Amino acid sequence: MNKILITIILLFAIIFSANSQTSNSALAKGSFLIEANTNFGAAHRSNTSISLYSEDDNSTWNIGFEGGYFVMNDLALKLGLGYGDSKQSDGRFSYKMGAKYYISSKFPVQADFNGSFGDDYSPLFLGLQGGYAWFVANNVAIEPGLRYDLDLNDDADNQAGISLNVGFSLYF
């Protein structure tokens, strides 16, 4: 138990000490972030990405965006909203809230709480994500990443899973 606690403390110390070495002004305290993500892989009903799936004559689409504010260098608090529809539902609103940290200003890791509501159905998930930020300009990045969503309630219907995301981020 003590080894785990020491490891966690050391991990936080390394992450937050890397904060002082930020060289990218797009990730500086006081900056804003707008993201649009694609979602390849595990589709579930809580989705703030842009996606279109078609299987067995049933098309499901979703559109969503996320935004954030850097409360310190490399650390953004984020919110996301989305809307989707399919033959099986009358439409669903999705939400996401969490934090995103850029390790060495290049490797984004994110933890968030996400869910949706509509049709008397409200699944909840805990999302964990990591990837790489490829800055194609000073204020624009393409962020491929891997995401895992863990279901937190019975409405989630065991929809937990891994997905591949490609995010497009604008910083200002």
148: CATH? 2.40.160.20
Q: What is the mean pLDDT of the chain?
A: 81
Where on the phi/psi map is residue 120: left (φ > 0), alpha (ψ -120 to 50), or beta?
A: left
Count structural domains, the chain: 1
Q: Positive or negative CA dihedral for 18, 48, 157, 43?
A: negative
pLDDT digits (tens, 9 = 90+) for 26-67: 999 999 999 998 876 555 556 777 777 777 777 778 888 999
Q: In which domain, by residue range, is 15 found? A: 2-171
Confidence label for 76 from pLDDT (cuts 50, 70 and 90): very high
Q: Which residues contact 5 (CB under 8 A, 6 or more apart)?
A: none
pTM of the model: 0.77
